[in-house]
Amino acid sequence: MFFLISLCSVPWWLMWLLPFLIGLLLGWLIWGRYQRLLRQAEEDLAACRKKSKQLEDDLAECRKAYTSLENENATLRGRIREMEAAASKPKASLASAATGAISALAATGEVKRGSSNRYAAFTEDNLQVIEGIGPKMDEVLKANAIRTWGQLAAQTPEGLRAILDKSGSRYQIIDPTTWPDQAALANKGAWDDLIAMQKSLDTGRDTNTGQTDSKVEKLLIKMGLLRKFAKDDLKIVEGIGPKIEGLLHDAGIKTWEALANTSVDKIQQILDAAGDRYNLADPGTWPKQARLAHESNWDELDKYQEYLQGGKES
């Protein structure tokens, strides 16, 4: 009875104070745990983002390495095609080449390293070197007994038009007017003239208003037998790669003309200052190569580079 009377005498708000304080304490504990979990989650998220960035960087490096390996693979495939084409030449040609090599040896006392003619990869039945002829058109022509450049060169535009018309409506928009002339140049081995002609064509039509890449050049690039460089790309010089190009750019040598006008001693000083990793680089021929590139003497540059080994005269 005393207890009941005592409780009744306690103010009502005091009876709710203790549960309120207990609830407040529990809420504070729960909020503190929530804050700790939130901080941990934020730290884990930051770590994941850092790891993701690292993985993205690694992926970019892998892609760069993959592209480099693909380019090297294309070059090797092109060299294999060159060797196969050279090996398939008639024995008379091989004998003539051997005679020429022996004559060179007798005259100079040495035989310098060189590569086969890049155009040897094209055989006379490869009609797709003609601007405007693709795989389907190649099949159509060969089905009509036109299998070589010589046979195509002997055709008339009207005769080719008749073949296309009877082969289906899909070939009606094709214009074969320039095909015999292109084939005649390929058959004669006049590749420079053929490339120049193709640069003025628009998918085989003589309607182009500007310069385009020729079909022959596109095929050579795809086969790894021809590298395409932008103007003043110093990597066109045998012996200069991306790292050395960067060193030359840092030294203010950014064009073919600038490299051509830089002395070998000055270039060597730049390499020496960059560290021991460039000790094997020999810049002796770089100004000469750059001069040929600057003056657009591409044939002479190709011939000169055939006799270089890593940019050095053999």
Each residue's pLDDT, cut to its tens digit, for the chain (314 residues) gives: 444 445 566 676 666 777 777 888 888 888 888 888 888 888 888 888 888 888 888 887 777 777 667 666 656 665 666 666 655 544 444 334 333 433 333 333 332 223 346 788 889 999 999 998 988 899 999 999 999 999 999 999 999 999 999 988 888 888 899 999 999 999 999 988 998 898 888 655 555 455 667 888 888 877 777 766 778 889 889 889 899 999 999 999 999 999 999 999 999 999 999 998 888 889 999 999 999 988 888 778 878 887 777 667 76
pLDDT in tens, 265-301: 999 999 999 998 888 889 999 999 999 988 888 778 8
Query: Phi and psi of 313, rounded to 5°?
Result: -75, 130
Query: Does residue 71 sit within a domain?
Result: no
CB atoms within 10 A of CB 7: 9
Structure-derived torsion over alpha carbons of residues 78, 82, 87, 92, reported in degrees to the nearest 10 = 170
Kindly state the tokens that stand for 92.
């008379």
For 278, the token pair is: 């460039």
- Strand ranges for the chain from DSSP E: 308-309, 312-313
Residues forming beta bridges with residue 309, ordered by sequence position: 312
**Partners of 308 in beta bridges:** 313
Domain limit, last residue, from 166, 194, 222: 222
Dist. CA 299–CA 314, nearest whole Å: 19
Check: CB of residue 204 under 8 Å from CB of residue 141: no
pLDDT for residue 272: 93
Q: Tell me if 94 is assigned to some domain.
A: yes
All residues at 6 or more sequence positions from 254 whose CB lies less than 8 Å from its CB, including other chains: 232, 234, 248
Cα gap 101→114, rounded to integer Å: 11
Select from 155, 189, 222 the last residue of a domain: 222
| Rounded Cα–Cα distance for residues 3 and 232 (Å) | 103
Residue 294 and residue 257 in contact, taking contact as beta carbons nearer than 8 Å:
yes
Residue 67, pLDDT score = 66
In a domain, 259, yes or no: yes
Q: Are 120 and 85 in contact (CB under 8 A)?
A: yes
- CB of 311 within 8 A of CB of 286? yes
pTM of the predicted protein model: 0.46
Does 95 fall in a domain? Answer: yes
- Co-location of 82 and 150 in the same domain: no
User: Same structural domain for residues 205 and 286?
Assistant: no
* Domain-ending residue, one of 164, 199, 222: 222
| Total number of domains constituting the chain | 3
**Looking at the domain assignment, is residue 26 inside a domain?**
no
Domain membership of residue 180 as a residue range = 126-222
The answer to the question of residue 63 being in a domain is no
